[in-house]
Amino acid sequence: MHEVALAEGVLRIVMDAARANAAVRVHTVWVELGALAHVEPDALAFCFDAVTRGSVAEGAKLDIARTPGTAWCMPCSTQVSLGQLGDACPRCGSYQLQVLHGDEMRVKEIGIA
Ligand SMILES: [Zn+2]
């Protein structure tokens, strides 16, 4: 499962930040997830719960914010924004789209105690 690897990546970033700040507990992790990423937010949160067990981030809340995606529409020759993967161009309805942004995930902030 793809979400497990992502959750482990998030945990690595969280652990480094926790160590650098001598945190005893991580209570919240804010991540930004592109709307066009092939990631199920619920599955990611579930995996995060599993991989953080026994760490300083055990029980931490994973706050997932979806960020809109952008794609290049070939018929329109312009950049359009997409709400989700598989959507058509909002201007012309074409599916000849090339994703530019919105398939990435990043850790935005970590709440520590
Ligand atoms: Zn278009």
Distance (angstroms) between ligand 1 centre and the Cα of 100 equals 14
Distance (angstroms) between ligand 1 centre and the Cα of 40 equals 27
pLDDT in tens, 30-70: 999 999 988 889 999 999 999 999 999 999 999 999 998 99
Instruction: Look at residue 1 and tell me whether its pLDDT is greater than 60.
Output: no
DSSP per-residue codes, 6-44: HHHHHHHHHHHHHHHTT-S-EEEEEEEEETTSS--HHHH
pLDDT in tens, 68-103: 899 999 999 999 999 888 899 999 999 999 999 998
Distance (angstroms) between ligand 1 centre and the Cα of 91 equals 5
pLDDT of residue 85: 84
What angle separates helix 2-20 from helix 41-51, to the nearest 10 degrees? Answer: 50
pTM of the complete model:
0.82
pLDDT of residue 14: 96
Distance (angstroms) between ligand 1 centre and the Cα of 76 equals 4
